[in-house]
Amino acid sequence: MVYAARHKGLYLIAFLMLFGGIALDAVIPSFVRKLVDDVMIGQKTGELMTLLLSMLGCFVLRGVTDYLQEFSSDKVGWKVAEDARVDLFEHIEGEDQTFFRENTPGELMSRVKRDTESVGTTFGFIGIFMIQIIIHVIVMLACLARLSLPMALVCIVLMPFIAVLGYKGEKKGDALYGDISEETATMNKTAGEAISGIRTVKAFNKEEHEKKRFEKRNKHFFDLSVRLEWMFGNCDAGVSFLGRAMLFLSILAGGLLVISKKMSLGTLASSVEYVNNLVWPMMEIGWILNEISSAMASSKKIDNIFKRKSRLTEGTIDSVADDELVFSHVGLNLEDTMILDDISFTVSSGKTLGIMGATGSGKSTITNLALRFLDPTSGTILLGGRPSTDYTFHALRSAFSIVTQDIFLFSDTAMNNIKIGNPDMSDQIAMHAAASAKADGFITHLEEGYSTVIGEKGVGLSGGQKQRLCIARALAKNAPILILDDSTSALDMETEREIQHELHALEHKQSTIIVAHRISAVRRADEIIYLDRGRIVERGTHQSLMAMHGRYYETFVAQYSKEDADGSK
């Protein structure tokens, strides 16, 4: 509604044209009556030219009103969809992480593209067309009733049947369309899985199995499409039959009046014109009602996204003065599951915190909370002595350089991928970061060096190469707090050692949080916390944890040996 209100000018044009069109539709049949009664029967041939020219003028004007009405109403529709799409996209961008776990990218893309379009056309073309049909039917019926009440009565009786049949057909068709679009998605997924997992398919001799799976989906798709055509065929035939029956019966009623001299032939001819003007709206009404009901469903889905309560709100402070990060009794309880419980630690300026723990123990969630990808359900997170919620997202996230566990690279050049945090960065700084992350070696060997396009559409990189590029990207951003979430796991021992050496040189300049499974990655940290199912079970320095003979010690023994462990203490 809000979006539609912005386009009053376009609505005004559309409605002016709509009324103009209807007025012309009401006038044109009276020329037909004059043509038949006065010129043909009354032999007033002198009026022929004026009548023909007037009719021609009306037809041209009718074309113009149709064109302008359609153009302006379509434009409103696209504008509403455009505005809603931008707002929805912006809103989705601001959602927390839980939202993205609940909604798949495919679903969200469908909301942003298809549902906004559906709502847009309803506020535009469909909505205006609906209003046009209602007024048009009333005016045409009134004109017809003025000329011939019996003919109007025939129409009034038959019109609802045509509309209901059309609506039912459309409704069934819509349900089938839904099945077909779901089947299309399943078919694409089946084929997509087999193609992207082709090596696994071949290695397990599953080609025939995959072919059969695809054949089954394809057959189902064919059956649904045939059913849809069959159903539409039946419905169209029914609607068209009833439309013609309405025309036939009204001509019959009018014909009887002409025979009994109660009506002139010209009046019959113009009445037939009015009946014709009543047939097409009935044929369209089913389609329109369906479009409106599916737009209402779309609008509900969009509204649900806009209404979501867990949306994060940002603060107003736009710069972070001090980089001390404090977690104070932080807990996260989602859907009655305790993901983190009573997590407290401090990372003072220039210090390093190591986080270890089994998979699923909540390590990445801690990093997500620090950057406010979601908020804790209890406790507070302080940055520079203030709750992190006091800062704008921009200020808060500018304080962190993060290498996330899920590697993501844009389809862009290697250089631009490194500069992503600051496009104005000089090439030297980016290359220096790449060197520290041991990424320059392989980048310079790429066909076009730093200008090679990588990512989804570019050249394929190995897991370790991607990781190194992500580390380079984080180092180049050079924010006060560096977070590495399991970001050396895909590297060989030697490269990992080299990168750690580089990172060590950065220590004391940057605060660092290192999430890792390997002891070698965290052993130099000022404090190490060991998580188990969302709780800190051990904490201390490497030495003190080793002396504890607890979980950390056991991990060390598993990764090195008991002799090393006892020697290292």
Ligand X SMILES: Nc1ncnc2c1ncn2[C@@H]1O[C@H](COP(=O)(O)OP(=O)(O)OP(=O)(O)O)[C@@H](O)[C@H]1O
Closest distance between ligand X and the C-beta of residue 339, in Å? 4
Q: Any contact of residue 360 with ligand X (CB under 6 A)?
A: yes
Q: Any contact of residue 217 with ligand X (CB under 6 A)?
A: no
Question: Based on CB atoms, which residue is closest to Mg ion, 79 or 363?
Answer: 363
Q: Which of 72, 364, 388, 487 binds ligand X (CB under 6 A)?
A: 364
Closest distance between ligand X and the C-beta of residue 8, in Å? 43
Binding-residue pattern over the window 467 to 486 for ligand X, x denoting contact by CB under 6 A:
-------------------x
Spatial distance between the Cα atoms of 537 and 239, rounded to a whole number of angstroms? 73
In the block, residue with structure tokens 């019996």 = 150
Closest distance between ligand X and the C-beta of residue 534, in Å? 7
Question: Based on CB atoms, which residue is closest to ligand X, 278 or 332?
Answer: 332
Spatial distance between the Cα atoms of 451 and 472, rounded to a whole number of angstroms? 15
Question: Based on CB atoms, which residue is closest to ligand X, 363 or 473?
Answer: 363
Contact range with ligand X by CB under 6 A, out of 61-69, 97-105, 167-175, 387-395: 97-105
Q: Any contact of residue 520 with ligand X (CB under 6 A)?
A: no
Question: Based on CB atoms, which residue is closest to ligand X, 310 or 451?
Answer: 310
DSSP annotation of 7: T
Closest distance between ligand X and the C-beta of residue 357, in Å? 6
Q: How many residues bind Mg ion (CB under 5 A)?
A: 3
Using CB distances below 5 to 8 A depending on partner kind, what does residue 334 bind out of ligand X, Mg ion, none?
A: ligand X
Closest distance between Mg ion and the C-beta of residue 485, in Å? 6
Using CB distances below 5 to 8 A depending on partner kind, what does residue 63 bind out of ligand X, Mg ion, none?
A: none
Whether the CB-CB separation of 569 and 546 falls below 8 Å is answered with yes
Question: Based on CB atoms, which residue is closest to ligand X, 365 or 488?
Answer: 365
Spatial distance between the Cα atoms of 479 and 510, rounded to a whole number of angstroms? 8
SS3 content of the chain, % helix, strand, coil (to 5): 70, 10, 20
Q: Which of 69, 73, 97, 436 binds ligand X (CB under 6 A)?
A: 97
Closest distance between Mg ion and the C-beta of residue 393, in Å? 22
In the block, residue with structure tokens 């839980």 = 98
Question: Based on CB atoms, which residue is closest to ligand X, 285 or 529?
Answer: 529
Between helix 493-506 and helix 427-436 the angle, nearest 10°, is: 120
Q: How many residues bind ligand X (CB under 6 A)?
A: 16
Sorted by sequence, the CB contacts under 8 Å of residue 234 that are 6+ apart come out as: 169
Whether the CB-CB separation of 517 and 357 falls below 8 Å is answered with no
Sorted by sequence, the CB contacts under 8 Å of residue 410 that are 6+ apart come out as: 416, 417, 420, 455
Structure-token pair, residue 447: 């066909």
In order of 92, 95, 270, the CA distances from 98 in angstroms are 12, 8, 65
Sign of CA dihedral 42, 47, 52, 55: negative
Binding-residue pattern over the window 387 to 406 for Mg ion, x denoting contact by CB under 5 A:
------------------x-
122: three-class secondary structure by DSSP: helix
Question: Based on CB atoms, which residue is closest to ligand X, 25 or 485?
Answer: 485
Structure-token pair, residue 60: 């041209």
190 burial class (0-12, 13-18, 19+ CB within 10 angstroms)?
A: middle
Structure-token pair, residue 407: 């590697």
Sorted by sequence, the CB contacts under 8 Å of residue 386 that are 6+ apart come out as: 317
Contact range with ligand X by CB under 6 A, out of 151-159, 228-236, 314-322, 361-369: 361-369
Q: Using CA atoms of 106, 112, 113, 116 in order, give the dihedral in degrees to the nearest 10.
A: 140
Structure-token pair, residue 31: 């020329």
Structure-token pair, residue 558: 């598993």
φ/ψ of 340, rounded to 5, equals -135, 145
Using CB distances below 5 to 8 A depending on partner kind, what does residue 38 bind out of Mg ion, ligand X, none?
A: none
Q: Any contact of residue 336 with ligand X (CB under 6 A)?
A: no
Helix (H) or strand (E) holding 233: helix 207-259
Q: Any contact of residue 416 with Mg ion (CB under 5 A)?
A: no
Q: Which of 277, 364, 510, 511 binds Mg ion (CB under 5 A)?
A: 364
Interface residues for ligand X in 378-397 (CB under 6 A)?
none
Closest distance between Mg ion and the C-beta of residue 487, in Å? 10
Binding-residue pattern over the window 334 to 363 for Mg ion, x denoting contact by CB under 5 A:
-----------------------------x
Q: Any contact of residue 311 with ligand X (CB under 6 A)?
A: no
Interface residues for ligand X in 399-418 (CB under 6 A)?
405
Using CB distances below 5 to 8 A depending on partner kind, what does residue 54 bind out of Mg ion, ligand X, none?
A: none
Residues forming beta bridges with residue 536, ordered by sequence position: 531
Question: Based on CB atoms, which residue is closest to Mg ion, 10 or 515?
Answer: 515
Contact range with ligand X by CB under 6 A, out of 59-67, 251-259, 357-365, 456-464: 357-365
Residue ranges binding ligand X (CB under 6 A): 97-98, 101, 334, 339, 357, 359-365, 374, 405, 486
Residue ranges binding Mg ion (CB under 5 A): 363-364, 405
